[in-house]
Chains A and B, each alone.
Chain A
Amino acid sequence: EAGVTQFPSHSVIEKGQTVTLRCDPISGHDNLYWYRRVMGKEIKFLLHFVKESKQDESGMPNNRFLAERTGGTYSTLKVQPAELEDSGVYFCASRQGLRDTDTQYFGPGTRLTVL
């Protein structure tokens, strides 16, 4: 079974440009999460989808970030316009259910560098 995949693995853009990150969750997982790790900080939650609906977007830093999950399958996270402080590693995770013991499976992350 394929795990969570993310694309691209690495993106280097200039300040003010737009970048779109993609996440393909494990097939059949209704729950999809985005997290971010900024250098020197802990991994932090951004938002949670249940199928195509945003369940919790309390961690989104500002309105330059837009997440979508059309059709309840893959998800995209767009940053527009990118700022220097957006640099970091963006992780996607998926989870089948919402029982305490259901595991969140993480993708390898997209390393975003904003110059």
Chain B
Amino acid sequence: QKEVEQDPGPLSVPEGAIVSLNCTYSNSAFQYFMWYRQYSRKGPELLMYTYSSGNKEDGRFTAQVDKSSKYISLFIRDSQPSDSATYLCARYSGAGSYQLTFGKGTKLSVIP
């Protein structure tokens, strides 16, 4: 079983829609979870991180962690064409090198 599972999509939505992106993880010891956004031919950039359980909101973006179900979600409200990118969920390996373990990424297209 992979440590972080993510549906690669692709996902296509009309402009203005609410987008829900999801990941599952296998190790309950994880504390920090991150969402990275990657535009074509660019490197991943950190969008949001969350710690433990609960929600974190930043503008149109909300990150949610449900430890009981081992589920990580990213919601995008009022989606824009500029949100079209690949979204990667990730977590740290833990203490030490803090290497990132990524999901495969979900490719999102927001259609004007």
Q: State whether the Cβ of A45 lies closer than 8 Å to any Cβ in chain B.
A: yes
Per-residue 0/1 for B86-99: is the Cβ within 8 Å of any A Cβ (1 yes, 0 no)?
Answer: 00100011001111
Across the interface, name the chain B residue whose C-beta is closest to A54: B97
Across the interface, name the chain A residue whose C-beta is closest to B88: A43
Q: Which of B13-21, B43-51, B58-66, B68-76 faces chain A?
A: B43-51
Decide yes or no: A33 and B99 within 8 Å by CB, A100-B92, A106-B43 being known contacts. Answer: yes
Interface residues of B in 10-41 (CB under 8 A from A): 31-32, 36, 41
Residues of A within 8 A of B31 (CB): 100
Q: How many residues of chain A get a CB closer than 8 Å to chain B's CBs? A: 27
Of B42, B46, B96, which is within 8 A of A56 by CB?
B96
Q: State whether the Cβ of A109 lies closer than 8 Å to any Cβ in chain B.
A: yes
Chain A positions within 8 Å of B, measured between CB atoms, are 4, 31, 33, 35, 41-45, 48, 55-56, 59, 91, 93, 95, 98, 100-109
Residues of B within 8 A of A35 (CB): 100
Q: How far is the CB of A55 from chain B (nearest CB, A)?
A: 5
Contact B100 A45 (CB under 8 A): yes
Q: State whether the Cβ of B77 lies closer than 8 Å to any Cβ in chain A.
A: no
Interface range, B side: 20 to 34
Q: State whether the Cβ of B53 lies closer than 8 Å to any Cβ in chain A.
A: no
Residues of A within 8 A of B45 (CB): 105-106
Contact B105 A42 (CB under 8 A): yes
Q: How far is the CB of A74 from chain B (nearest CB, A)?
A: 16
Across the interface, name the chain A residue whose C-beta is closest to B94: A100
Contact B43 A56 (CB under 8 A): no
Of A42, A100, A108, which is within 8 A of B104 by CB?
A42
Contact A104 B104 (CB under 8 A): no
Contact A108 B46 (CB under 8 A): no
